[in-house]
Structure 1
Amino acid sequence: MVKLAAKCLLAGDPAVGKSALAQMFRNDGAHFQKNYTLTTGIELLVKAVSVPETNDSVEFFIFDSAGKDLFSEMLEKLWEQPNVLCLVYDVTNEQSFNNCAKWLEKLRAQAVGVHIPGVLVGNKTDLVGRRVVEQKQAQEWAEKHGLEYCEMSVKEMKNFEAPFHILAKSFHQLYKEKVETFHSLA
């Protein structure tokens, strides 16, 4: 049984549901908070996830960061050397989707030359009549940028664990590949 630890950066525009996602995940979907205050800095949440089809687990240190453009030096320090990325946008807000390119660039600048598993998450799928970003469009963008893709509705408690299960599996696979490489050198 292997227990891995991973620094997970949660990023995206303000009000796309990053904090709601992190809180729901940490509390196993026990409670959807209707009123959130916008995150002003970074909130750290910790939770372990079992890796499917193994006895292994990944303990995520989730850095839920403010969706503001202006990062202080302190925030940038906390963003250094991520292991996995979770990029969130609102399916009813095209600008939040378009800004994912900027967020991804900022995230990847923290780990130049290193493969960082990541997932693009479309939130607020419960707002069907207001949807402007189609699933196919987002899926293609994610694939083009080497990210996994999933959609969810934190409000309806649907699929909110999926991003972290995807990241746990990807991070674990990367770990196994590194171990195999190490053994082949011995």
Structure 2
Amino acid sequence: MAVRLFLCSVRTGDPAVGKTALAQIFRSDGAHFQKNYTLTTGVDLVVKTLPVPDTGDSVELFIFDSAGKELFSEMLDKLWESPNVLCLVYDVTNEQSFLNCSKWLEKARSQVPGTSLPAGVLVGNKTDLVSRRVVEAAQAQEWALGQGLECFETSVKEMENYEAPFQCLARQFHQLYREKLEVFHALA
């Protein structure tokens, strides 16, 4: 029997790192890249269903694309009350956006006191800007692993690797679901 799971994911990071572009390109299966964006004000919602390979199951992702401005923090606090997974996005050409991932991760963790976020990914965007790169992949990988996150790099503009973080989130969530199901079966 195929299972359809519903996953709430919060995507966050500093302004202008490519969160909205990543959401839009993912939603459109690589068919829609806008060259000009206005900064997100508040929260946008992207919904997409992904099959989980080798399972027959699917995960419906409800991805909340949050503005990277502190101005919207009260609204985000409501949204962040119980995310299933977290997607942190930074710009590989902007070291401060990478360093601020610690702040964003701490904010997410503070919303679920007494427990830890079960899963998440760190996404370095704008890898097409090779000559401007300041955050090396190894540095991001080391930090992500230390935080219990999977690490990905992408270029939304070049449509490279934009699906991988979302597929990872779907697999992570499906695995969490299977583990909880096993616990329930063991108790029965």
Which residue among 172, 182, 185 is the counterpart of 1:183?
185
Aligned equivalent of 1:120: 122
Which residue among 135, 138, 141 is the counterpart of 2:137?
135
Taking the aligned partners of 2:68 and 2:148, their CA distance within structure 1 comes to: 22
Indicate the SS of the match to 2:81. coil
Q: 1:54 to 1:119 in 2, by over 3 A?
A: same
Aligned equivalent of 1:70: 71
Q: What is the deviation of 1:72?
A: 4.3
Runs of 4+ with deviation above 6 angstroms: none
Taking the aligned partners of 2:130 and 2:43, their CA distance within structure 1 comes to: 30
Return the TM-score normalized by structure 1. Answer: 0.97
Unpaired runs of 5+ residues, structure 2, are none
* Aligned positions of 1:53-92 closer than 5 A: 53-92=54-93
Aligned equivalent of 2:149: 147
Taking the aligned partners of 1:82 and 1:64, their CA distance within structure 2 comes to: 12
Q: CA RMSD in A?
A: 0.9
Q: Does 1:166 align with 2:129?
A: no
Taking the aligned partners of 1:6 and 1:69, their CA distance within structure 2 comes to: 25
- Greater CA deviation, 47-56 or 98-107? 47-56
* Aligned residue identity for 2:20: S
Return the TM-score normalized by structure 2. Answer: 0.96
Counting aligned pairs with the same residue, the percent is 71
Indicate the SS of the match to 2:49. strand
Aligned equivalent of 1:9: 10
Deviations 1:105-149, CA, capped at 9 Å, x for gaps: 011112221442100000000001110000000000000000001
Unpaired runs of 5+ residues, structure 1, are none
Q: 1:31 to 1:60 in 2, by over 3 A?
A: same
Contact 1:82/1:116, CA 8 A, preserved across alignment: no
Q: What is the deviation of 1:75?
A: 2.7
* Aligned residue identity for 1:155: K
